[in-house]
Amino acid sequence: MKLNLRQIEVFRAIMLSGSISGASKLLFVSQPAVSRLIAYTEQRLGLMLFQRIKGRLYPTPEAHRLFVEVTALYQNVQRVNEVADNLVENREGQLRLSCSPSLGQSLLPRAIAQFRRRYPQMRIVLQTQIPATLQQALLTQQVELGVAYMPVEHPSLASQPLYENKIVAVLPKGHPLAAQGQVEIRDLVMEPLIGYSADIPFGMLINRLFGDEDSRPEPLIEVQQAHVACALVQAGAGVALVDEITVAGPTWSKVVAVPIRGTVSAPVNVFHLQLQPLSRPALAFINVLHNLEQQN
C-alpha cells in the first residue's frame, strides 16, 4: 500500500493550511516530521506533490487531483463517525416489536410513547400477534422483541419478567359487587360470565381460578381477548375476569375492577433470541418497560 492513513492525514493538512508550518500546527507535530513524511510520501508515490517557489509551497496538479479523493475519503470517515454517534444516542434506525393483542391496546402504546419522547427519530414497527405467531416472528428475526403474557417457550428464546399482572373481576358500574374491596371467585359463579376459549392459555389460566371442572360456570359469551371482554362489560353484557394491565389500558368509563381473593397472575414477559445480542434501541425499550412497572 503506497499511502497509509498517517501519510494521507499529513498531505491533507498541508493542502488545507498551505504550508509545512501550518500542517505541523494542525497535527501538533514538528515541522521536520511533516517535511520528512511528505518527502517519503512523494518517493513512495513517484509523484511530486508540492513545489517551492520563492519560499512558498504550491501543490502540483497531481496533488490537487489526489486531494479530491482525500476530501471524499474524509467525508466518508466523518459520516461513519456520525452514524456511530447516532447509534450511541439511538437517533436513527428501526426497532421491530411484537406483542399480544391485549397488550397492543394497553401496555405497548404507553411504552412506545415514552420511548419516542427520548428517541423521536427512531422508527418503530409494532405487530400484534397470538403467542405462536409471535414466537415464529422472533425465531425468524422478523421482530427483535416480543412482549406477551403467558409463556412463549422455546429453547432458542430468552425471557425477562416484567409484571406480575394479577387477574381482577371487571364489573359494570353500579353492580352490587362493585362496591366491595375484594370478591371471592365463587361470588361470580352465578353472574352472566364473559369467558374465554378453554384451548387458549389465558382461558386455561382463568379456569384455574374456578378450580375443578364441575365448579366452573359456563360462559354466556366467549371471546379470545381480554380487551374485548372489557368492552363487553362496559356495554352491559356481563362480568369478566381480566388482567390488571388490560384494565389499565383504554379508559373503561363504565366498569369497575375489583381484586379477587386468592387470584392468579398472567405474568408479562419480554422475549428475544437467546444467542443474539440485543441492539441498543432494544435494550433502551426494555428499560422503558421496567420503568413503567415502577411507575405503576
**Fold match between domain 94-164+267-294 and domain 167-259:** yes
**Coil, strand or helix: which one is 102?**
coil
Q: What is the mean pLDDT of the chain?
A: 87
Q: What does the pLDDT average to over 234-239? A: 93
pLDDT of residue 26: 87
H or E segment at 210? Answer: helix 201-210
pLDDT of residue 87: 66
Among 64-68, 82-86, 195-199, 281-285, which is the least confidently predicted range? 82-86
pLDDT value at 239 more than 90: yes
Chain mean position to CA 237? 37
pLDDT more than 90, % of the chain: 37
Block residue for cell numbers 506533490 = 49
pLDDT of residue 57: 86
C-alpha distances in Å from residue 167, one per residue of 47, 78, 80, 122 = 80, 54, 50, 34
Amino acid at position 199, single letter: D
Dihedral sign for Cα atoms in the order 99, 102, 108, 109: positive
Chain mean position to CA 217? 41
What is the domain partition of the chain in residue ranges?
Answer: 5-88, 94-164+267-294, 167-259
pLDDT-derived band at 1 (thresholds 50, 70, 90) equals: low
Domain 94-164+267-294 has CATH 3.40.190.10: yes
pLDDT of residue 81: 74
pLDDT digits (tens, 9 = 90+) for 147-188: 998 677 788 999 999 999 999 999 999 899 988 889 998 888
pLDDT of residue 16: 86
CATH superfamily for domain 167-259: Periplasmic binding protein-like II (3.40.190.10)
Q: Report pTM.
A: 0.66
Q: What does the pLDDT average to over 110-136? A: 89
Strands 145-149, 94-99: pairing is parallel
pLDDT of residue 76: 82
Looking at CATH, the fold of the domain delimited by 5-88 is given as Arc Repressor Mutant, subunit A (1.10.10)
List residues bridging with 123 in a β-sheet: 94
